[in-house]
Homo-oligomer: A and B are copies of this chain.
Amino acid sequence: MGDPRTGIGRPTTIVDIARAAGVSKSTVSLVLKGSSLVKTETRERVEAVIERFGYVYNRGAANLRTATSSFVGMVISDLTNPFFAELAVGIEEALYQLGFVPILANTNEDLERQGHVLRSMREHGVAGIIMSPARGTDAWTLANLPARSMPMVITMRRILGSPLPYVGPDNQAGARKAVEHLIGLGHRRIAFMGGFASMTTQQERIAGWRDALLAAGLPFDEGLIFESMPTRDGGKKALEAALATPRPPTAVFCYNDIVAMGATRALSTRGIRPGLDVGVVGFDDIDEAEHNAPPLTTVSADTRAMGARCADSLLGLIRGSGAADMSYTGETRLVVRESCGAPFAARKREYA
């Protein structure tokens, strides 16, 4: 057993405590879980010994018997993306509140790695998994995962055809709001920028963009879609592609904030003033968005709350609720700052 002073040696167990306190291990176990069955005097004696020995509860051993686990797998596709970092923080915080402990895996969009970590997590006995799937994950892969038949919620990237509960923002409605705002500002030629058609998130955001266009009686022109990696660099390239076009757009609605930041930056370096000469709006409302030059108008999905919602849904699943009931589509909110040209439009009105 561990020496109370040095902490050296075999770690102290419940049996050591029992012996030292002159009770049975059952009683110590009872004390540990704060049962009202044990006499106050006994409890105090045991607690004193626990304190003196610096005893550490072995949750793993306990879980073996009860066949439960307080671990939850948190599989993130790209943690260096500030959006996913924020999501991860939301999930972690909520799990902590619920008494769960997150095991982290950053798949870095690697399907093979994703398979590995899923298997590893299962072996480590997680109670469930929250996953933002790597690009390319499809329903079939998901259904044949080593981790099938374990509680799992998918977040942020909908997998068509998968029965797993999905938690994410209402991309279509959010995109529509953003584009309607641009239209309200007087824009008539609005491009969509970033992402690829294979991403369900892009599909949904494009659908919202088209909805807004069509509702305003504007033409839906596929030529105004500029695909790119969903990165700053992608935004830059997409914007350059748009500018190289015979009739460049007067505003761009971007796949996400990162793309929008790349786009505003590319505009600036060419001497075109984002927010004044060209309207730009993003999606996600990451922290950096308000510090961009100019501050980004964007669609907020309340990422942290979404993370909390993932944890709630997983808990529901673990407790036995149906997968369908645990899906959740979050409301979105348009955050108007300067990149869309709102202040410019306002100023125009002011002097008109």
Contacts and interface: CB of A to CB of B under 8 A. Distances in A.
A7 B265 contact: no
Contacts of A82: 80, 82, 85
Given A60-B60, A262-B291, A265-B293, A106 B123 contact: no
Interface in A94-141: 96, 101-106, 108, 117, 120-125
A104 B103 contact: yes
A281 to B, nearest CB: 18
Given A59-B125, A104-B103, A148 B7 contact: yes
A67 to B, nearest CB: 8
A97 to B, nearest CB: 11
Given A82-B82, A123-B56, A262-B291, A93 B64 contact: no
A93 B79 CA distance: 11
A74 interface: yes
Interface of A: 6-8, 56-61, 63-64, 69-71, 74, 79-80, 82, 85-86, 88-89, 92-93, 96, 101-106, 108, 117, 120-125, 146, 148-149, 232, 261-262, 265, 268, 287-288, 291, 293
29 contacts: A6-B149, A7-B148, A8-B149, A57-B123, A58-B64, A58-B123, A58-B125, A59-B123, A60-B60, A60-B64, A60-B125, A61-B64, A70-B124, A80-B86, A80-B89, A80-B287, A82-B82, A88-B104, A92-B105, A92-B106, A93-B108, A96-B117, A101-B120, A101-B121, A101-B124, A103-B103, A104-B104, A232-B288, A265-B291
